[in-house]
Chains A and B, each alone.
Chain A
């Protein structure tokens, strides 16, 4: 027995990990055509890591699916492709551009944000492949509406969430039944906070796209935010382009994602940096303060969009 590890007392990350694994095994047990939404972002990287654990040593019983807005950072797309290749998993990519060409998505302006259009392309992919459940990385601490969303969340045939008719969800007894044409969304990270995600990334050594870590990038200052200078977001007349050390806290659509000034090159440094920033911002002095980037991400989204 000497080769065997002794049992451990479960820490809060162990509890969250085990719950997420249980959720994904239930999803795979109750539904037959699943896909895991994998964008290459940190939350989806954590979900993919947990899925690998849930079905180890077998391959995943579902493909990875990414709806590409065409406005993604190249580093993130490279990471997405490399990760799927490394794990030997099937990656399906469907592009909003395809929906635009088909005429199912019509943007008000060519350079408009494509966030809203994503759901059209997603539903087209669901129909094309007959997916009956999609596993995603949304968390309840992200916003107030999410705080009420189920772990197994029902979508009607138009892909719509009806908060008025949510099913009661008790214990760990998930009700994944649907009618033909309907869909289940499954959120294994429902009970995780932003801090839990970073702590788990650190503990498990989960790889992330390089732009999450400090790097030199051309930016301009606008409305108190740092805007990355890219093909899609060129400097405006009068902007002063600076080369700063920055990192991204979230990686979404290029037109809506701003980096923050940072020197943090590792996950531990990101955690430490976030705590110090939080402390001084709040004028607090306690070092046992907790970290929660979710609200800042939210603020950023609200501020920009």
Chain B
């Protein structure tokens, strides 16, 4: 039956699709939804209609699945990220699709923040002998910046006559970029999204390709975000248990925790031992990343919303270096204080200097930059009024990330990733 059973359920994989309409991105999304039976009869009818009443699968314009975006664009509605859902018996999927060329950096960063993987699309038919497009290098840069696993879908292979040489040339070109950026083990798959080759099912056209089709890659990809497994629980709320004990409630951002384990409360630095792990569904001996729990400690310590329960060796900082993506139409104003939210804590922050701004075509690091504006990606020095967790994004994405909020407009001004505590 359609519902995954508990034993087989591989949870949820969230991925982004990077590429333009020309690369066949809309067609690929339509194909994934169609072949996983994520489209209902009425939706299929809607996209078939425009093709002279034919019901042939080949006649269905899969790109029209994501249609509607065009009309919204005409109405002036900002389309930054649209979410689509489908499921196979093995796994549920959330596609975060960031359309558009303008503001692409902002949109892709936003979509990537809640994803584990990026499917980067490359149009094989136009690339043979030409090297990668600047756009693809940009996608790779953002995927690396955001810590995503990378799948390179080399599309429109049918138009190359299923040329192994073209596929390998593109693979080798991308591998060079990946090495420069430090992207680990990208996965390459030759596809023709329009006809479904190597999307949900293996195609007979690529006897030289021994990997699985794209959907199987997505079904079996290790979905856990890379982190070092060290315990962090940002406290959202203090809840009274029936026996009067205080439970510190929150979702475990990384690692796991067990009854009897010693923890540190940050930023105060007090230590305590976990006495109980309580939820509506019962008391647990331990709990792991992603679970929302209440943790009861063995002694009276001062803990409130915004504090973090952490493994013993955790530390805090009031100065750091971070990668920043500027998201707001309002550019950064030098000397202004912004609100910084990390985990459940909000404090004030000051950008103390720009180390470099990344030029997004050739990916060069430009020093001497004096400003930050929409879509800029930069490395900056940040000073904080109160100490925050000194976690790096590479070690622990969930606590190594922060947002800056403009207190005057209440807009979310920037996304930040901690690279090092100063």
Contact = CB atoms under 8 A, between A and B. Distances in A.
A15 B11 CA distance: 7
B11 A57 contact: no
Interface of A: 1, 3-7, 9-12, 14-19, 21-22, 25-26, 28-29, 52-58, 140-141, 144-145, 147-148, 154, 163-173, 175, 177-179, 190-191, 193, 195-196, 199, 271-272, 275, 278, 281-282, 284, 286-292, 295-296, 299
22 contacts: A3-B283, A4-B259, A5-B285, A7-B284, A10-B11, A17-B292, A22-B292, A56-B279, A144-B82, A147-B84, A165-B411, A168-B80, A168-B110, A170-B113, A170-B401, A171-B397, A173-B341, A175-B341, A195-B2, A287-B1, A295-B43, A296-B42
Contacts of B405: 175, 177
A168 B81 CA distance: 9
B256 A7 contact: yes
A171 B87 contact: no
Contacts of B327: 168
Given A10-B11, A14-B290, A147-B84, 5 more contacts: A4-B283, A7-B287, A15-B11, A53-B280, A290-B2
Nearest to B112: A170
A148 B82 contact: yes
A173 B402 contact: yes
Given A168-B80, A290-B37, A191 B412 contact: no
Contacts of A275: 1-2
**What bracket does the count of chain B residues touching chain A fall in?**
35 or more
Interface of B: 1-4, 6, 9, 11-12, 36-38, 40-44, 68-69, 72, 76-89, 91-92, 94, 106, 109-110, 113-114, 236-237, 239-242, 249-251, 256, 259, 277, 279-288, 290-292, 305, 327-328, 339, 341-342, 344, 397-398, 401-403, 405, 407, 410-412, 415
Contact of A171 (B69, B113, B259): B113
B202 to A, nearest CB: 17
B11 A177 contact: no
Contact of A6 (B2, B85, B286, B403): B286
Contacts of B89: 288
Given A1-B259, A147-B82, A7 B2 contact: no
B415 A12 contact: no
A229 to B, nearest CB: 27
Contacts of B68: 144
A5 B284 contact: yes
Nearest to B111: A170
Most buried by B among A18, A281, A284: A18
Contacts of B411: 165, 167
A25 B249 contact: yes
5 shortest interchain CB distances as A-B pairs: A4-B285, A170-B113, A25-B236, A56-B280, A53-B280
Nearest to B69: A144
B38 A290 contact: yes
